[in-house]
Amino acid sequence: MMRLRNYFLTGIIVTAPLAITAYLVWSVVGWIDSWVKPYIPARYNPENYLQFSVPGFGLIVALVMITLIGFITASFVGRAIVGLGERLLNRMPLVRNVYGGLKQIFETVLANRSDLFKEVALFEYPRKGAWSIVFIAKQQESEINRALAMEHSRTVAVFRPITPNVTTGYLLYVDEKDLIRLDMSIEDAAKLLISAGLVGPEIEAKVQALAEAALRGRRKAAE
């Protein structure tokens, strides 16, 4: 019975992530199809000629349209049209704040997605003796850094994610000397947070590999 129980748990570990991922992908595809397909002319919709629905056709159309809009926007005429539209939006009191904030977020995420977070560190939060994993963000000089410069030698911006949804959390400005930097990668830290500490980085394997490499180096030096 213990062996059957272990087999069952192993099967859950293998199939559950696959099933959840497939469900989420299928849901997103269906949601995009429900938005895009009503705007596709009937003669271009393959479902009018086939006996079955074509899931993902709306997604393909949306990707093509977004790419085409990006191509047009990159031209001189497209930039002029976008600039005119943004000037009109900036004259609307409430709309300009929403549009400006969303545009800045998307530009930051998409244009600098590889440099959003540089390192992983530990920060003593929310109380003394309790440590949280934080991501050290790409540093940019701001009014906040200048305001805190009188009390702290160097202040850095860190993001403290919340388990298990690491896309939400707190932005903290902390003294750099209060951080304990780790060699852990951003991906390993995200796995640790999402799993609530159950899936951690393979420290023992890394330590053993480093030890073996050091041993090989000593042997070569001795030879």
> Is residue 218 pLDDT above 60, yes or no?
yes
Side chain identity at 179, as an amino acid letter?
A: L
Provide the pLDDT for residue 2. 83
> Is residue 195 pLDDT above 60, yes or no?
yes
Nearest to 182 by CA among 197, 201, 163: 201
Provide the pLDDT for residue 208. 59
**Mean predicted confidence (pLDDT) in 132-146:** 77
Provide the pLDDT for residue 206. 56
Structure confidence at residue 223 as a pLDDT band (50, 70, 90): low
Side chain identity at 62, as an amino acid letter?
A: A
Provide the pLDDT for residue 140. 67
For residue range 80-135, list pLDDT tens digits in order: 888 888 888 888 888 888 887 777 767 666 655 445 677 899 998 888 889 999 99
Provide the pLDDT for residue 111. 58
Structure confidence at residue 203 as a pLDDT band (50, 70, 90): low
Dihedral angle sign, alpha carbons of residues 129, 130, 135, 138: negative
**Mean predicted confidence (pLDDT) in 163-167:** 79
pTM: 0.51
DSSP code for 157: E
**Residues 131, 123 contacting (CB under 8 angstroms):** yes
Residue 167 vs residue 204, higher pLDDT = 167
Average pLDDT over all residues of the chain: 80
Provide the pLDDT for residue 152. 66
**Mean predicted confidence (pLDDT) in 182-196:** 83
Long-range contacts from 179-182, C-beta under 8 angstroms, 24+ separation: 179/121, 179/122, 179/123, 179/134, 179/136, 180/121, 180/122, 180/123, 180/131, 181/119, 181/120, 181/121, 181/136, 182/119, 182/120, 182/121, 182/122
> Is residue 207 pLDDT above 80, yes or no?
no
**Residues 101, 80 contacting (CB under 8 angstroms):** no
Q: If phi over 0 gives left and psi between -120 and 50 gives alpha, with beta otherwise, what is residue 56?
A: left
Cα angle: 169, vertex 108, 81; to 5 degrees: 135
